């Protein structure tokens, strides 16, 4: 439906009409009369001063006070709009509207309803102030959404961008502030999120709610970015880097940072200080993970997370406390993932240290017998990751047995048939349960060395079973 210009027009409104006709800027900043009725703008945008917008028609207005609701719902605007430093008394409404380039730089308005609108160019809200929700549900912006230095505020929802599609970037730099939830769930951004220096504030609630968001380039929530409230980016797909370098992250809602099932080529978790809350990385798929022990979160969930490279200073076994921050306790996959990364990077000793820590942490979850058996494996062979211990234990037991039985030889079971006694071979026969040298059956130890013989037999079985268990574990790993 076309627009109709109201009658009569004030002198100021007549100047706006003439400026629209020629595409020139009408600056009312220093004017005594800055009032322009919203219905005048509607009439110009939908029909033009003479019925249809001309090739030169442009709405270029600065410093006006726009009275009444600007309602462009379900219409098509065939000219660009540039309203700078204007004050709107009512919400701007362009629900389901087809528009070109819309520039509201420095404007103040009580909310914007642009759900399901199509912007053939850029939506520029630079330096603007909105005191109510900016609705962009299902909207399509072929260019960029510019929010640099803008201020959005609402007690509940400051920006609602569910299923928003942006062809290029969302720019929210240089002091952008958002009081209330910023919602971008299921949004698709063809370019980058450049939010360096932005501030999101929603204490006790969700400051950024963006699960399932898709970003075609970097997502820079860094370099002075600050948030008071939860960040929800589960199932997000970031084609490049998700960066929290130099960010200030705080809030009471938990988890504070939800990155479950995140897919990103790189995740940078280097905030300005330790994260006093929970970071959830369960089932995330990362190419590179970059962090620092000085800023590790208080609680960290890593179950199912995979990463190819750990960037930054190689911590070796110093990263083990990182794995023990899961509030759910022992998570074997987290250890296996870290060990695999170390192994691929050629840090085999560190990989073994992580694998050993895995078994020790697992032991703490077992019952009494399991823990005792675990301690035996750990003491004797380090769960297979310290094979020298088994060699040393075997050598020590063999030495003790050889010396003891050399000083106090056992008696022959059948003297006439007994072979020549050899204390070393006799000790080896006791220690090796699956090998028979003929000495154990031919000789019986004298008291009190009977107990030593029993101890050697038991030690041999323990060594054999622990070595077998360790070998099975290592073969399964490889």
Q: And the tokens for 111?
A: 């909310």
Question: Quick check: 335 pLDDT over 90?
Answer: yes
Q: Taking residues 354-368, what's their average pLDDT? A: 86
Looking at residue 474, its pLDDT comes to 59
pLDDT band at 475 (very low <50, low <70, confident <90, very high): low
Q: In the block, which residue shows the tokens 């939800």?
A: 258
> Which stretch of DSSP H or E encloses residue 180?
strand 177-183
The fraction of the chain above a pLDDT of 90, given in percent, is 70
Lowest mean pLDDT among 165-179, 226-240, 338-352, 431-445: 431-445
pLDDT for res 440? 85
Report, as an integer, the average pLDDT of 431-438: 83
Of 109-113, 420-424, 435-439, 466-470, minimum mean pLDDT range: 466-470
Whether 469 has a pLDDT exceeding 70, the answer reads: no
Residue pair 304/333 in contact (Cβ under 8 Å)? The answer is: yes
At 54 the pLDDT is: 60
Query: Model confidence over 40-52: pLDDT tens digits?
Result: 999 999 975 555 5
The 10s digit of each residue's pLDDT in 376-391 is 777 767 776 777 777 8
22-69: pLDDT as tens digits = 999 999 998 989 999 999 999 999 975 555 556 678 999 999 999 999
How much is the average pLDDT of 299-318? Answer: 91
Average pLDDT of the residues of the chain: 91
> What angle do helix axes 387-407 and 368-381 make, rounded to 10 degrees?
80
Q: What number of CA atoms fall less than 13 Å from residue 124's CA on the CB side?
A: 17
**What is the reported pLDDT for 463?**
79
pLDDT at 458: 85
E strand intervals along 281-385: 285-291, 299-301, 306-311
Q: What is the pLDDT of residue 363?
A: 86
- Cα separation, 456 vs 429, in Å, equals 9
Q: What is the mean pLDDT of residues 422-438?
A: 87
Q: Is the pLDDT of residue 122 over 80?
A: yes
Averaged pLDDT for residues 302-322: 91
What is the pLDDT at residue 1? 43
Residue 399 has pLDDT above 90, yes or no: yes
Instruction: Render pLDDT for 188-215 as a digit per residue (tens, 0 to 9).
Output: 999 999 999 999 999 999 999 999 999 9
Positive or negative torsion for Cα 214, 126, 118, 184: positive
- pLDDT tens column, 142-175: 999 999 999 999 999 999 999 999 999 999 998 9
Average pLDDT over residues 466-470: 69
Alpha-carbon span 118 to 350, nearest angstrom = 55
pTM, 2 dp: 0.83
């Amino acid at each position: 439906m076309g627009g109709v210009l109201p009658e009569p027009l004030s002198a100021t409104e007549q100047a706006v009409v003439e400026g629209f006709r020629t595409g020139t800027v009408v600056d009312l900043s220093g004017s005594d009369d800055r009032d322009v009725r919203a219905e005048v703008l509607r009439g110009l945008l939908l029909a033009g001063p003479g019925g249809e917008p001309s090739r030169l028609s442009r709405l270029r207005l600065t410093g006006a006070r726009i009275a009444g609701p600007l309602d462009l719902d379900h219409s098509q605007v065939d000219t660009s709009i540039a309203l700078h430093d204007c004050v709107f008394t009512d919400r701007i409404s362009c629900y389901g509207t087809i528009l070109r380039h819309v520039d509201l730089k420095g404007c103040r308005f009580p909310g914007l309803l642009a759900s399901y609108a199509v912007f053939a160019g850029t939506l520029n809200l630079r330096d603007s102030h909105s005191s109510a929700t900016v609705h962009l549900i299902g909207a399509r912006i072929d260019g960029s959404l510019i929010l640099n230095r803008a201020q959005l505020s609402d007690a509940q929802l400051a920006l609602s961008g569910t299923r928003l599609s942006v062809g290029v970037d969302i720019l929210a730099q240089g002091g952008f502030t958002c009081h209330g939830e910023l919602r971008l769930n299921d949004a698709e951004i063809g370019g980058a999120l450049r939010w360096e220096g932005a501030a999101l504030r929603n204490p006790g609630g969700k400051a950024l709610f963006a699960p399932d968001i898709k970003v075609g380039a970097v997502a820079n929530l860094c370099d002075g970015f600050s948030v008071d409230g939860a960040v929800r980016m589960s199932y997000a797909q970031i084609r490049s880097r998700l960066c929290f370098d130099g960010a200030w992250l705080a809030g009471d809602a938990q988890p504070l940072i939800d990155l479950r099932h995140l897919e990103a080529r790189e995740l940078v978790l280097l905030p300005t200080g330790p994260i006093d809350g929970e970071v959830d990385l369960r089932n995330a798929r990362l190419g590179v993970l970059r962090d620092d022990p000085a800023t590790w979160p208080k609680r960290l969930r890593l179950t199912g997370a995979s990463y190819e490279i750990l960037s930054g200073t190689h911590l070796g076994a110093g990263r083990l406390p990182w794995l023990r921050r899961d509030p759910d306790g022992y998570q074997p996959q987290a250890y296996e993932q870290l060990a695999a990364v170390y192994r691929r990077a050629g840090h085999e000793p560190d990989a073994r240290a992580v694998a050993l820590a895995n078994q020790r942490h697992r032991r703490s979850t077992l019952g009494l017998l399991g823990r005792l058996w675990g301690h035996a494996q750990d003491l004797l062979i380090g769960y297979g990751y310290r094979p020298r211990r088994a060699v040393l234990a075997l050598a020590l037991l063999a030495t003790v047995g050889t010396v003891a039985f050399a000083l106090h030889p056992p008696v022959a079971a059948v003297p006439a048939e007994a072979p020549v006694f050899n204390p070393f071979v006799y000790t080896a026969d006791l220690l090796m349960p699956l090998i028979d040298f003929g000495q154990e059956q031919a000789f019986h130890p004298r008291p009190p060395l009977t107990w030593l013989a029993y101890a050697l037999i038991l030690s041999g079985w323990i060594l054999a079973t622990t070595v077998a268990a360790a070998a099975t574990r290592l073969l399964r790993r490889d």
